[in-house]
Structure 1
């Protein structure tokens, strides 16, 4: 069964290759979308190549709704977007994927039922298809090479939906251990200062205080984990042992 999460339906208009349908399913499920609708697939339905390409997203294909025409596929929707590189002279709002999915999220949150249409691979949607849409989604691609694969276009739109509908953490630290506490870093600083003092590093004497302050400042700028601190202690101990052996 589809998840209960409010979301748009992604409508594949007359898709030609089963592999592209499978790639579209995979892209949708990557970003939490599972409402797929398909109109008149060229190679019939179900399609074994679509299933193979969908990998872990095969459930979307099992639950995909099949329609004869574009009009039937979007008949229950209150707002429809058409993804196309060529508006073809029709007067409609043209939005970027980011703006369209943000708007779609707002409409769905207000109780609307939204669909996003994707045309067949070779020539895209016909004017009769686009005429059913309220707005157009136009991807800002390289004008010298504007053709997008069906799976790519679905993936891009699904990603923008995820960004618009989910709290995204834009930066995080992947921790491999616990952060070192201040007293642990302080002990590390003392260890290095003591050994460097013995080695005659703080020279000449009139610059020693400033050199030590710079070294302490360096330690304070470095975000150490406890494992980092232990390793740095080990490095210094080994260097001292090596010197003593010599």
Structure 2
């Protein structure tokens, strides 16, 4: 049996009041791979030139947006509907975070189910008459003393969670800025260079602690995860100091043979 194709959620803007916010919502959607928008009874009619101006490069989301007279029509083909609201209501509904909501949406979307996400008008948000069409409520854990979110911000939060959970981007990556990590041999040679010069300067004192001091220095070099450029810079810094003090045979920009830096 063939695996069902992932179906992305549809974003439903209920009675939006400002074209700029509709455009901002479109940009937020496309930033994270969503392009299906439906608009219920927009206050200023449709199309809206202010929405297109704000959408910038995301105009194609608006070009294909569906216009509906009511919420029931906008979600009629949806198998599961989330409604976003920060206020408590007198309806019995499961309340989930954006993270959990989009995890559920991905699970259901992978099964070929159609998901809708309702966003209310800027001034008052969704009403109970809108919420009866939803299976679950999405509430963002914001400051309880100031829980009002702009429409575009609300869409961005949900769209980000959708995109993040479907991304293969690692949590952390080192930007190498046109260089590469130093090899273990290069780090070893850097340690040799500094250890030799520190020995000459009498750094490893008293003798009873010398071995531990050397060990700590070696551990420090390996822990730093140095790039080749950084290793070269550290060699150059030490050569410059010694050259200025008249202790180095080579000028600071010289090229000593491998294993004999400084």
Work out the CA distance in 2 between the residues paired with 1:111 and 1:100: 17
Q: Classify 1:9/1:215 alpha carbon distance in 2 versus 1 (closer, same or farther; 3 Å).
A: same
Going from structure 1 to structure 2, the CA distance change for 1:78 and 1:210 (only over 3 Å counts) comes to closer
Could you say which residue in structure 1 is the equivalent of 2:26?
A: 25
Does structure 2 retain, via aligned residues, the 8 Å contact 1:102–1:165? no
CA pair 142-202 structure 1, distance change in 2 beyond 3 A: closer
Aligned to 1:232: 234
Post-superposition shift, 1:90? 1.5
Whole-angstrom CA distance in 1 between matches of 2:198 and 2:123: 70
CA-atom RMSD in angstroms: 1.9
Verify: 1:154 aligned to 2:155, yes or no. Answer: yes
Give 1:218 shift: 2.2
2:68 is matched with 67
User: What SS class does the counterpart of residue 245 from structure 2 fall into?
Assistant: helix
Once the two structures are overlaid, the 10-residue window that deviates more, 80-89 or 108-117, is 80-89
- Distance, in Å, in 2 between the alignment partners of 1:205 and 1:135 is 70
Distance 1:209 1:145, change over 3 A: closer
Please report how far the alpha carbon of residue 28 of structure 1 lies from its aligned counterpart in structure 2 after TM superposition.
0.8
CA contact (8 A) 2:18 2:43 kept: yes
Which residue of structure 2 aligns with residue 215 of structure 1? 217
Mapped to 1, the partners of 2:211 and 2:125 lie a distance apart of 72
Match of 1:48 in 2: 49
Cα 1:75–1:236 shift into 2, 3 Å: same
1:110-150 residue CA offsets vs partner (Å, 9 max, x unmatched): 11111001111111122221111122212222221121111
Gaps of 5+ in 2: 248-262
1:201 match = 203
How many equivalent residue pairs? 242
TM norm structure 1:
0.91
Q: Using a 3 Å threshold, how does the CA distance of structure 1 residues 114 and 242 change in structure 2: closer, same or farther?
A: same
Inter-CA distance 102–192: structure 2 relative to 1 (3 Å threshold): same
Unmatched 5+ residue regions in structure 1?
A: none
Aligned counterparts of 1:139 and 1:103: Cα–Cα separation in 2 = 16
Q: 1:32 to 1:196 in 2, by over 3 A?
A: same
Higher helix proportion (structure 1 or 2): 1
